[in-house]
Amino acid sequence: MTVFKTFGKVGSTLYSEKEEKMANLFLKQAKQYLATRPGYPPQLFDFIASKTPTHDVVWDVGTGSGQAAISLASIYKSVIGTDTSNKQLELAPKLPNIRYECTSANISMTDLKDKIGPESSVDLVTVAQALHWFDHDTFYDQVKWILKKPNGVIAAWCYTTPEIDDQFDPVFQKFYSESKPYWDSLRGLVDDKYKSVKFPFEPVDGCDHTGPFEFRSEKLMSLDEFFTYVKSWSAYQTAKEKGVELLNDGVIEEFTKAWNEDENGQKSVTYLVYLRIGKVGDLVK
């Protein structure tokens, strides 16, 4: 097996055209995304870190506003977070051991070396809630080139729709189903918990498959904050551009009736996180 069928393929598109389109949509609601998207549980990062023999360098691809990078920086010596959106990166937390790089939709071999590192130099590649947008063949070739052999690890995860309680969830699921026409078709990979996403890697030590492995993330939110979370969806922005307001008066009324808030006006919102994890293994050049 070769690392690349065609070496020049590394210079082709890392992100799909659809991902570039979605990046432009997220530009318009970057602050909403940062404020209302769930964080990721410590158990997720502890599990990932337990599978990387050394904790030197991480490449966090599609880092956005640095939600994963900030947690990775507490475990690994150096984190390189890349994204196509300068606006998102401007909102990302700044730490001495995190370096953010804005990359174009087309990353060349030279850019890969200059912005990330030489061959076999990275312990871990992470992708949080973004793998479904990527050109998988090209991206995986890059991952196999950059990861340390044979135990370099790739970890990619997504979270599905939030869960609140028996009263609110049916109302929300009905709303989510009605929003489907405004989601990109690739959203189906998320709804499928990344079970069907292409993932050509070997199970990490101690595991007999590459996942998905389930984790839970919880966040206290007010109803207004929940509305802001919905507005951070790419589907919400797409609908808006088509002249459709997903959060119309009728929907807001339904949500308000179903939102049985506590005395602080907040509810615990649970997001189920699904992780695919594997190692690069021995690659014959």
Determine, yes or no, domain membership for 172: no
What are the pLDDT digits (tens) for 2-45?
222 222 333 334 444 554 555 554 454 545 454 555 689 999 99
8-17, 43-52, 101-110, 179-188: range with highest mean pLDDT? 43-52
Determine, yes or no, domain membership for 251: no
Q: 214: domain CATH number?
A: 3.40.50.150
Task: Look at the pTM and tell me if it is higher than 0.95.
Answer: no
pLDDT at position 155 over 60: yes
What mean pLDDT is predicted for residues 230-241? 92
SS3 for 47-60 is HHHHCCCCCCEEEE
**Residues 6+ away with beta carbon under 8 Å from 24:** none
Q: How far is CA 5 from CA 99, 122, 174, 271, 284, in A?
A: 31, 21, 45, 39, 12
Determine, yes or no, domain membership for 123: yes
What value does the mean pLDDT of the chain take?
86
pLDDT at position 156 over 50: yes
Question: How many structural domains are present in the chain?
Answer: 1
* Cβ atoms 59, 144 nearer than 8 A: no
**Residues 6+ away with beta carbon under 8 Å from 16:** 133, 134, 135
Count of alpha carbons within 13 angstroms of residue 105, beta-carbon side: 13
Determine, yes or no, domain membership for 262: no
Determine, yes or no, domain membership for 27: yes
Determine, yes or no, domain membership for 170: no
